[in-house]
Amino acid sequence: MPSPPTMRAGEVVRLKVGDIDGEQEIIRIVQSKGRKDSNVMLPGDILGLLRDWWKERPTGQDADVAGPDRVIFLGYNGKHLSPRQISRLFKQAAKAAGITKPVTLHTLRHSFATHLLERGVDIRVIQALLGHTKLTTTARYASVATGMISAVESPLDNLSQAKRKKGKKGAP
């Protein structure tokens, strides 16, 4: 089951129905890494997939649990899947899709951040989306965006042009 790539595996498996706000298109992450609560975006197509999953999801093990407290990705004994289980499912899906490069769930997070950076999204916004406390953690994603680095025009490139312009001002 896809999830917004900003979420960590442990956050995805602990999702409950009450964490999904379809109206505002956000997912509330309760007690994330660092014991922080945060929100992530919920694209409409993923909301649709979650709703489809909810209709098909096995319900026998948690029928007695109140609606908002029901775990979305149910594992054994009425508890949520483990991050390890969801990682295995992800690897199976990648293999079935013909992806031969080594990939992990964290690869999605990393790719998501890199694509945002390459699209010009401010690194502070990316920091908030990923739930990083320190900007240096988010800045690690910048090292991957080499296309951005080569596209930047250096101010040093203009030094020779500036000198020529200065010299022309004094000339008759």
- The set of catalytic residues is 8, 33, 106, 109, 132, 141
User: Which region, left, alpha or beta, applies to residue 3 given φ > 0 means left and ψ of -120 to 50 means alpha?
Assistant: beta
Give the Cβ contact number of residue 78 at 10 Å: 14
Q: Is residue 106 a contact partner of residue 130, using CB atoms and an 8 Å limit?
A: no
Q: Give the relative orientation of helices 83-96 and 105-118 as an angle to the nearest 10 degrees.
A: 70
First to last CA, the chain: 72
Tell me the C-alpha distance between 53 and 64, whole Å: 19
The H or E element that residue 107 is part of is helix 105-118
Beta strands in 17-151 (DSSP E): 20-21, 26-29, 38-41
